[in-house]
Chains A and B, each alone.
Chain A
Amino acid sequence: EIVLTQSPGTLSLSPGERATLSCRASQSVSSSYLAWYQQKPGQAPRLLIYGASSRATGIPDRFSGSGSGTDFTLTISRLEPEDFAVYYCQQYGSSSLYTFGQGTKLEIK
């Protein structure tokens, strides 16, 4: 089973700043099968990025994804107030199994 480790656990930034969130896999993940989600309190997760770098429908272009192999990054270029939330990475691997990272909480500084 592939384990995804996200860092940092909590990221404190101010609106307008740039956020960089990391997701590291215990073994190589196909770039096609790495996704990122945003979750706000009391809400279901929302798909942001799939295929490591493709934005989902309706996602602003300040969100971008990159990476390959075992290291992936979600970048938010200029934080808006509504971006403060918890972010999860997720991979789809062999035997059609899915795993999620433990999440990074992005909080207002």
Chain B
Amino acid sequence: QVQLQESGPGLVKPSETLSLTCAVSGYSISSGYYWGWIRQPPGKGLEWIGSIYHSGSTYYNPSLKSRVTMSVVTSKNQFSLKLSSVTAADTAVYYCARVGCNGGSCYDYWGQGTLVTVSS
């Protein structure tokens, strides 16, 4: 059973960098699949942030691309998200998930999510 768990600071100051890690169990990241991040502001819908392959190949949401960096640490079976220059608009529950289904068309396994609040 594939399981994902997000971790990182729950509070980040404006203009600083948000950093989250997703630990994967039940599947080796280096075996394949893309892995992604999705966020959800309180009371709002889902927004795709980006996805990454174990080789380091990435795809980012164009609206966030200038501020997003994703990376993989295969030895720890983890992948990470960094979002720079955060503002209150970046306050959200951040989910990590596996890109599965046919041709990588959807997210089949999700973490429980972690709330990140941007505030001074």
* A residues adjacent to B (C-beta < 8 A): 1, 32-35, 37, 43-47, 50-51, 54, 56, 88, 90, 92, 95-103
Chain B window 31-64, contacts with chain A (Cβ cutoff 8 Å), 1 for yes, 0 for no = 0000010100000011110010000000101100
Nearest A residue to B60 by beta-carbon distance?
Answer: A97
Contact B62 A47 (CB under 8 A): no
Interface string of B86-105 (1 = CB under 8 A from A): 00000000010100011111
Given contacts A50-B105, A50-B106, A90-B106, contact A100 B95 (CB under 8 A): no
Known contacts A56-B108, A100-B48, A102-B45; is A1 also within 8 Å of B102 by CB? no
Q: Which of B48, B107, B108 has its CB near the most chain A CB atoms (within 10 A)?
A: B107
Measuring CB to CB, which residues of chain B are less than 8 angstroms from any residue of chain A? 36, 38, 45-48, 51, 59, 61-62, 95, 97, 101-108, 110-113
Question: Is A92's CB under 8 angstroms from B59's CB?
Answer: no
Q: How far is the CB of B83 from chain A (nearest CB, A)?
A: 17
List, in ascending order, chain B residues with CB within 8 A of A56's CB.
108
Instruction: Give Cα A104 to B107, complex, Å.
Output: 19
Alpha-carbon separation in the docked complex, A44 to B36 (Å): 14
Within the assembled complex, what's the spacing in Å between the Cα atoms of A54 and B46? 22
Which chain B residues lie closer than 8 Å to A95 at the CB level? Answer: 59
